[in-house]
Copies of this chain bind each other. A is one copy, B any other.
Amino acid sequence: MELTVYLAGQIHDDWREQLIQKAKEKKLPLHFVSPQTNHDKSDDIGEEILGEQPNQFFRDDAASSINNLRTQVLMQKSDVVIALFGEKYKQWNTAMDASAAITMNKPTIIVRPESLIHPLKELSNKANVTVETIEQALEVLAYIFE
């Protein structure tokens, strides 16, 4: 049994690569899917496909429509969702993805630093498990196969 895991969350560092690398080292039967992690690509994709938009709002909306389609396709294919929040960014779309996953009954793991306990308390309470590091998230996944 292989599980597909959607990795929601910030796209400003390489946490996904680290997590995927560690999963490989542990030889876990996991297949990972993700949002577009090239930030510029993610912001530009609307105009890239649909052409120039009238202003920043419509530019953002065009990109979001395509990013949201991508997320919907991949999340529906997933068995588990990991959503990581870092300290720097607002990442409302991460909260949106995690909440959508929970409402769709996808088992969901939140990764967030201790400093975000208070602002993320409601989401954390609704998720299955909340951890502070990607190593811990991976231990939770590994535990499914033990």
A binding-site residues for B, Cβ under 8 Å: 1, 3-4, 31, 33, 36, 38, 41, 45, 48-50, 54-58, 60-61, 63-74, 76-77, 79-80, 85, 90-93, 95-100, 102-105, 107, 109, 117-126, 128-129, 131, 136, 139-140, 143-144, 146
Contact of A36 among B36, B64, B91, B143 (CB under 8 A): B143
In the A-B complex, list the 7 residue pairs whose CB atoms are closest, starting with the nearest: A54-B54, A99-B99, A64-B125, A95-B95, A103-B103, A93-B122, A60-B121
B139 adjacent to A60 (CB under 8 Å): no
Q: How many copies does the complex hold?
A: 8
Q: Collect the chain B residues with CB atoms within 8 Å of residue A98's CB.
A: 96, 99
CB distance from A112 to the nearest CB of B (A): 10
A1 adjacent to B4 (CB under 8 Å): yes
Q: Find the residue from A58, A99, A107, A124 having the highest chain B CB count within 10 A.
A: A99
